[in-house]
Structure 1
Amino acid sequence: MEKIKFVDAELSETIAELLGKYDHKTLAIWAADCSEHVLPYFEEKVPYDERPRQAIEAGRVWVRGEITMSEARTAAFAAHAAARDTDDAAACAAARAAGHAAATAHVASHAVHAATYAAKAAAFSSADVSDNTAKERNWQLKHLLDLGGGGQS
């Protein structure tokens, strides 16, 4: 896989600062939503591999209390394995975003990593890396604010 330089948008700092105001389950929902937003970059390249989609769903199911944190974490590991199995940068980043979304059930701070990998997936999907990164980060911030604070974790 060719190494592509990722330069994050300035908005990433704003997002990171806001995350402390959100409860664990809201962060898990946001991480799943961020990952699902870029999942097509993985599924276009590897349509037969369900591991990233299953990881995103595991994060959502954990929020509903239908699986344990350990089960969500297992799904996270599977999504990261899917990332290692692809040589496309955008697909790899999208799978990693899904892995971190599921891992948010284990530790809330994985949400920021899900969002960063989602921004990387968007960036690596086109020649206009910085514009795609900014668009993705803007979507993430708007979506986070739309979810509301949800209380402290």
Structure 2
Amino acid sequence: MSEIALSKQDLREVTAFAAACAELVLEVFEDDQPDDLRPREAVGAAWEFAQGGERGQVLRDRAWAALKAAKSADTMAAREAARAAMSAAGAAYLHPLAKGTQVKHILGAGAYAARAAELVADDDRSVGDEHLEQAVRRATPAVVDVLKRFPTAPSGGGRVAELVRMLDADLRSLAPAE
């Protein structure tokens, strides 16, 4: 399997994008679990890495903790919001493998955040679409460049996977930066 060149700066750009997407729905989790800071700490760790920090055990631990928080949430919306936080911290661990499955490391936080927002709005898909539009505007040319190095997101999966594919297609359709 071929490898894709990824610099530390590429990883920082992707992680900043993911953190920006995830922080939009932190309140969804916190409204459900007000005393659980694990998703907020995961997003904070993602921002720290994106702004020049180390990609070390603390970042990895915060991602795992956010995933555990998702499992303890009472509502599906809160679970998806915590998964967005987990994905933000996990974005720093994008693997340089030329596989479409890696696209979720780049776009997962945006897709989970969109799904959380849909669920809060009684499963209103237009709310998810709006979140994806915001994510497209938030994506820097560097994020789009990294994404385009990978094959497209794979088919299958549930609504979050569908949102990943929609975001993937929207970002790939952007004109290249001049």
Alpha-carbon deviation of 1:152?
Answer: 5.5
Query: What is the rounded CA distance, in whole Å, between the counterparts of 1:40 and 1:60 in structure 2?
Result: 17
Summarize deviations over 1:18-64 as a string: whole Å, max 9, x none. xxxx9221110010000001111111111111000000010111123
Q: What is the CA deviation profile of residues 45-96 of structure 1, one whole-angstrom value per residue up to 9, with x for unaligned ones?
A: 1111100000001011112333333321110000000000012011100000
- The residue that corresponds to 2:53 in the other structure is 66
Which residue among 66, 70, 78 is the counterpart of 2:65?
78
Note the 1:1-153 alignment, pairs <5 A: 23-107=10-94, 109=102, 110-144=105-139, 147-149=140-142
Instruction: Letter of the 1:137 partner, please give it.
Output: L
Contact between 1:123 and 1:130, CA under 8 Å: does it hold in 2? yes
Which segments of 5 or more consecutive residues in structure 2 lack a partner in the other structure? 1-8, 96-101, 147-178
Matches of 1:150 and 1:41, distance apart in 2? 26
Kept in 1: contact 2:18–2:91 (CA 8 A) = yes
* Larger deviation, residues 111-120 vs 75-84: 111-120
Larger radius of gyration: 2
Identity %: 32
Higher relative contact order (CA 8 A, sep 6+): 1
TM-score of the pair, normalised by structure 1: 0.77
Distance 2:136 2:111 in 1: 12
Counterpart amino acid of residue 83 in structure 2:
R
Asked if 1 retains the 8 angstrom alpha-carbon contact of 2:14 and 2:143, the reply is: no
8 Å CA contact 1:23–1:151 kept in 2: the answer is: no
Aligned amino acid, residue 143 of structure 1: R
- Distance of 2:145 and 2:48 partners within structure 1: 21
Uncovered stretches (5+) of structure 1, i.e. residues with no partner = 1-21
SS in 2 for 1:47: coil
CA gap 1:122/1:80 in 2 versus in 1, 3 angstroms = same
When structure 1 is superposed on structure 2, of 90-99 and 122-131 the one drifting more is 122-131
For 1:98 and 1:138, locate their aligned partners in 2 and report how far apart those are by CA, in whole Å. Answer: 19
Backbone CA RMSD of aligned residues: 2.0
Q: Could you say what secondary structure the match of 2:142 adopts?
A: coil
